[in-house]
Structure 1
Amino acid sequence: MTPVSDRVMNLGHFLTQNARRLPDAPALIHGDHITTWAQMQARVGALAHALIHDHGLTKGDRVLVQSANCLQMLETMFACWRIGAVWVPANFRLSPDDLAYLAQSSGARAMFCGAQFPDHAAACAPHIPAIIPIGASDLGPDHDALIARHMGRMPPEAAMTRDDPAWFFYTSGTTGRPKAAVLTHGQMAFVVTNHLCDLMPGTTEQDASLVVAPLSHGAGIHALTQIARGVPTILPTGDRFDAGHLWALVERHRVSNMFTVPTILKLLVEDPSVARHDHSSLRYVIYAGAPMYRADQIRALQTLGPVLVQYFGLGEVTGNITVLPPAHHATDDASMRIGTCGLARTGMQVQVQDDQGAELPPGQTGEIAVTGPAVFAGYHDNPDANAKAFRDGWFLTGDLGHMDEQGFLYLTGRSSDMFISGGSNIHPREIEEKLLTHPDLSEAVVLGTPDPVWGEAGLAVCVPRPGHTPDPQAVLDWLAPRIAGYKRPKRLILWDSLPKSAYGKITRPMIRQALIERGEWPQAPG
């Protein structure tokens, strides 16, 4: 049967609803400045009018955004959606050349650029007709000036269908160039509903949410779910991570939920400031982007209580693959399925498949595939990537794992992380988990490196806990009875810290590059 209509709600309508129902309630709190829902709606309307009348933007046009977290960044999101344009946020830590690639690949017709990024604006200028600064700049009228000029104008919300693009979500690009995953209005409406259902049930305008990651990616998805329920969003002040400042905000605003990644959560719970501030208001501390090591999980639970929520998902599925709610977290190993990232999200189907696409039985390792309404519409202007990413309607994640009899999923690692030593497949994650149970180690990464005898051999790069300097060989000797001999790293080296991506993740390509730069990467045999 042909659908009578495929029209869906414009995502910008979430803001309209809040401005009607909660006009004087806080939408965004940044330092001592509070913006209400009515104020934000008026500013978004004026900005949308400016995009149409000053810059000629129409439905389907892409708008690139280079900005640190701020009110104006969220306003660009809703102004784009109101007129049917596509929001294209960039990780603000990208280099100017990297951003210029995004400008070209997205086909953006306008760009909002923070005044503190003049080199980025210059790099993109040859590719984008209009560049609008956020903050005072020599580039012309800025974001706030446009709003002031058009205040009082409110263009109607563009009519949208399920598959109309809303957001180009750029992958982090750990291999090759970043790709633009196309997130649509209908898909994102499901994602918002699913996040509220699975990650933070019972969320209302009485809650408060703290932003501790770039709004260009997962934190932006999380912020949208808060906006859907009229929850005020709290933005930290300052440009650098400050655990003490974040815990003070939790106490001051009675923050009830936050979204972060395991490495940042680890820093938060290990900082002494956590004991100086009241965090009893927290109901959901959501972590994603990478699995959390068991030792870090236990410490977070002991420090914060039963508030942890893990989800597994990629930008292409907007986080909607599995969820592990508070009820399935425990400090007692006997009470928890250690290593699981949870069960399939509501309305989504997850399989572990072999190379031909057949579903594997419980306990067998294969590639994780997913289907359901949260799966994106494909990569923008990239048919080759789409052909590789989909098989028989399933999105192939590139992640390896297995399921147990009850449907709990366990990640083994990325297929690209695996290395082969003496003919045996080795997945680094298992080794890292064992290393992090050593009392003197804080962080650990294992990579496969060239080896003249075995083809590849494991190299462990570890960070000691403060005040500890373990002997590398002693750590390897300690590991010996705890893991199969063929999996044991051949070498272990200690660093003061590990490099992390702009999203706070530890990535193997970055570790490999650092090893090369330090002269510690083995030469390939021959």
Structure 2
Amino acid sequence: MRINNELPPIKDLSAQNAAKSSDDIAFEDADGSVTWGEFERESLRAANGFLRYVNRGDRVAYYCNASVDHTQFVNGALKAGCIITNLHTNSSAQALRHCLTETRPRVVVVDESLADSFAEKVNTDVLRSVSTVVVLGEPTREYEESAESFLEGTTMEEPDVLVNEDDIVVIGWTSGSTGVPKGWCHTNRSMYLKGVELATRPGFDRTGQILTVNKPSFLVWFSLFTKSTLGAESMYYLRNWNPEKWLEVVEEKRITQSTLVPTMWREVLDTDPESYDLSSLEMITSTGEKLSSTTLRQLRDRICETVSQSYGSTEIHSTVLYNEELTEERIESVGKPQSGTEVRIIEPDGPLDEELPSNETGEIVVKSPDCPVWVWGDSEKTAEEFDQGWWRSGDLGYKDEEGYLYIEGRSDFMIKSKGVKIMPAPIEEALGDHPDVKNAIVVGVPSEEYGERVTAIIESYRDPPSESKLDQWCLESDKIADHERPRDYYTVESIEKTASGKIDRLETMDKLGLDRT
């Protein structure tokens, strides 16, 4: 006899928390909080509301910011056996219509504050498969109904829906910066594994409270939601990014953990954090971009002594660098593979079994049990990005002799100047060390002389430094070689950001009218 217990589906996790921690805070936002017992009861009501319109496996789409109400409606759809998909609220009309047309949701849930934006981007053809649009707030259109109407007459009875660990539970969309968005499908199993991996990292416990600024459209939101439903800690949602508001919430709610991208951390550091009581913070994490040594030192001195870094994507979680490992010498590293994950460095598009030596740059490929199973409606794209279970990331990097991973940048951001390959990252870091430079990006602009001309775009704190001063700064830097320094400099009031707060070099180039390669 062999005992075979399946992993529990995500829809059942909140009931386990309600049973053991009914009166503990589960989720909170600026409008209020909900305990695990309340969250479970409202999720069951939402589930029975969904069952008026859906069957097992149907899709429910969300055009929302992070909030308690949104989270209850997500959990309700899961309990009804649905596949949920959070849509990018800042996407183009074309991208949004693509996501809706591909997935054909039976129900769409929209924030009242975003209802006008949603209506402007979609059309009746796109909504043909949609049975109802639920507005979290007051409905104003004929096809909309309020959350109160949707929930009217529903019971708190557990739906009789069979869901397995290998069933798709969520479709996470890429940003679509390199084409139409891709909908990566994750199962109950892969999301459970992501949640467990996050919940077992040092510093996480059920008495803590995490402050998240992640938009639901980024898969990390669902990973953090899963982690909380596993009993790791409660979660406070900051609907819109504001460094001053972040500081206020940390002080008022005694937040213990938070994760931001380096651009956001620099904004926090520029907002007089010493004026706030941040002593409750036990650990902070930086992700998404390289963290400079200057920023690291300031974070430890002014925000929280314990800092970690991580590397991952919509497709897969990859590595983590813990505080004890995060030394000045390893400041540029994103750590070692998380538990059960393999990372290799190979020649771009090369054989998977021909790993490059230590300190040699190549393409990063990752294999992990928390990987997605499919790109929604596109098996060809699935096979293109996953080869024998290995994810071809498109990122360039190397591993040192101790196995720590370093990211050099996207392979499509690499500059080829006079036949020499140049990575933007070290140049951006050198420019970022200048006291008058707030943010810097380095791009390749087509040139007959160079092939691609190394070009810097600068966002300054005050009066921008002159081109000659910046050039001298680069010449004196020991981080870049002479042939790598920028040949042209542009100054902008602000560098464009993606929805996740990362620097958007392509959009910034477009705003300046610079040709792309």
Is 1:493 equivalent to 2:481 in the alignment? no
Cα distance in 1, alignment partners of residues 8 and 106 from structure 2: 24
Distance 1:523-1:29 versus aligned 2 partners, 3 A rule: closer
CA RMSD across the alignment: 2.1
Q: TM-score, normalised by structure 1?
A: 0.91
- Find the partner of 1:105 among 102, 105, 111: 102
Aligned residues between the structures: 504
1:207-240 CA distance string (max 9 Å, x none): 111122213312342233123215222234xx64
Q: 1:267 to 1:202 in 2, by over 3 A?
A: closer
Alpha-carbon separation, structure 2, partners of 1:498 and 1:142: 39
Distance between the aligned counterparts of 1:135 and 1:29, measured in 2?
17
Q: TM-score normalized by structure 2?
A: 0.92
Partner secondary structure for residue 150 of structure 1: coil
Matched residue SS, 2:336: strand
Return the match for 2:226 from 220, 224, 227. 224
* Matches for 1:92-241 after TM superposition, within 5 Å: 92-116=89-113, 117-121=115-119, 122-123=122-123, 124-137=126-139, 138=141, 139-156=143-160, 158-198=161-201, 201-217=202-218, 218-229=220-231, 231-236=233-238, 240-241=240-241
The aligned amino acid for 1:210 is L
Higher alpha-carbon deviation: 219-228 or 206-215: 219-228
| Code of the aligned partner of 1:184 | T
1:128-158 CA-to-partner distances (Å, cap 9, x unmatched) read: 33322221103343223322420433314x4
Distance in 1 of aligned mates of 2:264 and 2:199 = 23
Stretch of structure 1 that moved more, 118-127 or 13-22 = 118-127
Distance 2:34 2:149 in 1: 17
Residue 70 of structure 1, CA deviation: 1.4
Partner of 1:294: 293
Is the CA contact 2:249–2:255 (under 8 Å) kept in the aligned structure 1? yes
Residue in structure 2 matched with residue 283 of structure 1 by the alignment: 282
- Kindly state the Cα deviation for residue 32 of structure 1 after the two structures are TM-superposed: 5.7
SS at match of 1:406: coil
C-alpha distance in 2, partners of 1:243/1:480?
34
Residue of structure 1 in register with 2:7 after alignment: 8
**Which residue of the partner structure matches residue 242 of structure 2?**
242
- Residue 87, structure 1, aligned to residue 80, structure 2: no
Which ranges of structure 2 fall in alignment gaps of 5 or more residues?
none
User: Structure 2 vs 1, CA of residues 305 and 27 (structure 1 numbering), >3 Å: closer, same or farther?
Assistant: closer
Give the letter aligned to residue 371 of structure 2. Answer: V
**Structure 1 residues 110 and 293: alpha-carbon distance in aligned structure 2, compared to 1, 3 A threshold:** same
For 2:116, the aligned partner's letter is P
1:314 is aligned to 313
Q: Does 1:325 align with 2:322?
A: yes
Note the C-alpha offset of 1:522: 5.4
Contact in 2 for aligned 1:96/1:119 (Cα 8 Å): no
Partner SS for 2:9: coil
**Aligned CA distance change for structure 1 residues 32 and 510 (closer, same or farther; 3 Å):** closer
Question: What are the equivalent positions in structure 2 for 1:362-401 lying under 5 Å apart?
Answer: 362-401=358-397
**Residue 429 of structure 2: SS of its match in structure 1?**
helix
2: CA distance, partners of 1:93 / 1:25:
34
Q: In the superposition, relative to structure 1, how do residues 507 and 490 fare at CA in structure 2: closer, same or farther (>3 Å)?
A: same
What is the rounded CA distance, in whole Å, between the counterparts of 1:495 and 1:486 in structure 2? 24
Q: Indicate if the aligned counterparts of 1:103 and 1:128 stay in contact, CA closer than 8 A.
A: no
Deviates more, 1:342-351 or 1:146-155: 146-155
Distance in structure 1 (CA, Å) of the matches to 2:200 and 2:216? 21
How far, CA to CA, are the matches of 2:344 and 2:25 in structure 1?
42
Q: Quick check: 1:339 aligned with 2:332?
A: yes
Q: Percent identity?
A: 23
Rounded Cα–Cα distance in structure 2 between residues aligned with 1:460 and 1:127: 47
